[in-house]
């Protein structure tokens, strides 16, 4: 069994900076013309702007963020496969609103249905996937609400998987950002969300053209995902993500009075954050640490270790932060050892609070010391 020891690295000399939503709002007034808004960093979840962010409001089709999340989780857990043929019943095929006009009695690949939800907000595909995963839409909604609680979405209640008007049903800008942040952990989602225009081909030969409802995908640099929503009750809504350099942002607006204003409001939020904030790289993936890992029974006595991922801090440009790192290494690691093997962990702290962590990997391979090698080593000391 491996033993572990902890070594603290030197603190990185930056002074603290406040990052609360209220602080950001004080210098960024008038960014939106919506009833609620929320802007945060993807990696840390730190809020950069907020406006009525916990007020419970209808969110229309943005609830499909949770629908998609459960679909991806079912696929990645092995509960269903992306190429599985999903049989469409009359209930799903008869859905109104935005749709791809699924044929009752026909079967479609799960991946195709999920893509239509992400691209053109297809209600019929939502219900077809819900019925496949949970047996019925009502049972799927129970899963949606349970997952929302697990994520800490305290001001969210779903009544269906489409976001069509039905009481009681609500969420808030902060919770929508929380759900989108979780959805973005599934990299395959971006294969769907970045599609601008694509034909949906039905098994009976029909074709439905899908156009992405999120116009920022095409017209805002760095935007590669998100979900729109509209009902008379909810107004115009949008949750979107954009990445530039090392910084990925999430922005949510609820209750805009026009489609144009929701897109402009999110663009304003992105522009503000990309201009005022940065993701400062504190730990660099692949860069060896000064400290070495001791190896038992190897041709080398010690090797370098390096972080598996970058660790960054979201902060205002030009302002300083109080950052430090701490790492753990596996004591008594034995040869043979392959480069890239997991040999520990590094943790990043901000003002003494954990801000991120990643694995430490062996930077080089070590062969086991043979009897001949051992003999020569001993002989060399005589």
Residue ranges of domains in the chain: 3-16+284-381, 31-278
Alpha carbons 65 and 178: distance in angstroms, whole number: 10
Question: Domain 3-16+284-381 - what CATH class?
Answer: mainly beta
Alpha carbons 363 and 73: distance in angstroms, whole number: 33
Q: Annotated catalytic residue: which of 50, 121, 125, 265? A: 121
Helix axes 123-134, 64-76, angle to 10 degrees: 40
Question: Is 121 assigned a catalytic role?
Answer: yes
Q: How high is the pLDDT of residue 2?
A: 42
Q: Annotated catalytic residue: which of 61, 125, 193, 265? A: 61
Q: How high is the pLDDT of residue 22?
A: 35
Please indicate whether the domains covering 3-16+284-381 and 31-278 agree at the CATH topology level: no
Alpha carbons 83 and 75: distance in angstroms, whole number: 10
Cβ-in-10-Å burial (0-12, 13-18, 19+) of 117 comes to: buried
CB 146 within 8 A of CB 136: no
User: What is the dihedral sign for C-alpha 338, 341, 344, 347?
Assistant: positive
Question: Is 64 assigned a catalytic role?
Answer: yes
| Residues lower than pLDDT 70 in the chain | 1-28, 370-382
Q: How high is the pLDDT of residue 23?
A: 36
Q: How high is the pLDDT of residue 320?
A: 87
Q: How high is the pLDDT of residue 332?
A: 82
Alpha carbons 28 and 20: distance in angstroms, whole number: 13
DSSP state of 157: B
Q: How high is the pLDDT of residue 299?
A: 85
Q: Annotated catalytic residue: which of 35, 50, 64, 171? A: 64
User: Which residues are registered as beta bridge partners of 57?
Assistant: 171
The residues near 28 (Cβ < 8 Å, ≥ 6 apart) are 48, 49, 272, 276
- Alpha helices (H) in 135-236, listed in sequence order: 137-151, 173-183, 189-193, 216-219
Superfamily of domain 31-278: DD-peptidase/beta-lactamase superfamily (3.40.710.10)
Q: How high is the pLDDT of residue 373?
A: 53
pLDDT tens-digit map of 296-305: 988 888 999 9
């Amino acid at each position: 069994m491996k033993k572990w020891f902890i070594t603290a690295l030197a603190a990185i000399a930056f002074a603290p900076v406040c990052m609360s939503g209220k602080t950001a709002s004080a210098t960024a007034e008038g960014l939106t013309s919506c009833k609620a808004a929320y802007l945060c960093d993807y990696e840390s979840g730190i809020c950069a702007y907020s406006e009525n962010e916990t007020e419970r409001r209808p969110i229309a089709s943005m609830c499909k963020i949770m629908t998609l999340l459960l679909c991806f989780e079912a696929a990645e857990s092995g509960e269903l496969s992306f190429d599985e043929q999903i049989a469409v019943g009359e209930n799903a095929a008869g859905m109104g609103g935005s749709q791809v006009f699924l044929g009752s009695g026909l079967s479609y690949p799960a991946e195709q249905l999920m893509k239509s939800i992400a691209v053109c907000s297809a209600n019929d595909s939502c219900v077809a996937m819900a019925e496949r995963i949970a047996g019925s839409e009502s049972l799927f909604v129970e899963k949606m609400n349970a997952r929302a609680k697990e994520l800490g979405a305290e001001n969210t209640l779903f009544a269906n998987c489409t976001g069509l008007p039905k009481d009681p049903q609500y969420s808030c800008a902060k919770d929508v950002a929380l759900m989108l942040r979780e959805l973005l952990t599934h990299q395959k989602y971006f294969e769907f969300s970045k599609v601008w225009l694509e034909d949906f081909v039905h098994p009976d030969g029909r074709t439905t053209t899908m156009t992405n409802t999120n116009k920022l995908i095409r017209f805002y640099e760095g935007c590669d995902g998100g979900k729109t929503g509209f009902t008379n009750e909810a107004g115009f809504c949008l949750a979107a993500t954009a990445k530039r350099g090392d910084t990925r942002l999430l922005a949510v607006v609820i209750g805009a009075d026009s489609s144009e204003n929701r897109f402009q409001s999110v663009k304003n939020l992105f522009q503000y954050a990309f201009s005022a904030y940065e993701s400062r790289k504190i730990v660099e993936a692949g860069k060896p640490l000064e400290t070495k890992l001791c190896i038992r029974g190897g041709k080398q006595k010690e090797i370098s270790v390096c972080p598996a991922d970058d660790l960054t801090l979201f902060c205002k440009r030009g302002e300083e932060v109080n950052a430090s790192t701490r790492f753990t290494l596996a004591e008594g690691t034995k040869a043979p050892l392959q480069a890239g093997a997991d040999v520990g962990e590094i943790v990043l702290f901000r003002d003494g609070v954990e801000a991120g962590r990643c694995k430490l990997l062996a930077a080089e391979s070590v062969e086991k010391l043979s009897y001949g090698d051992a003999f020569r080593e001993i002989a060399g000391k005589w």
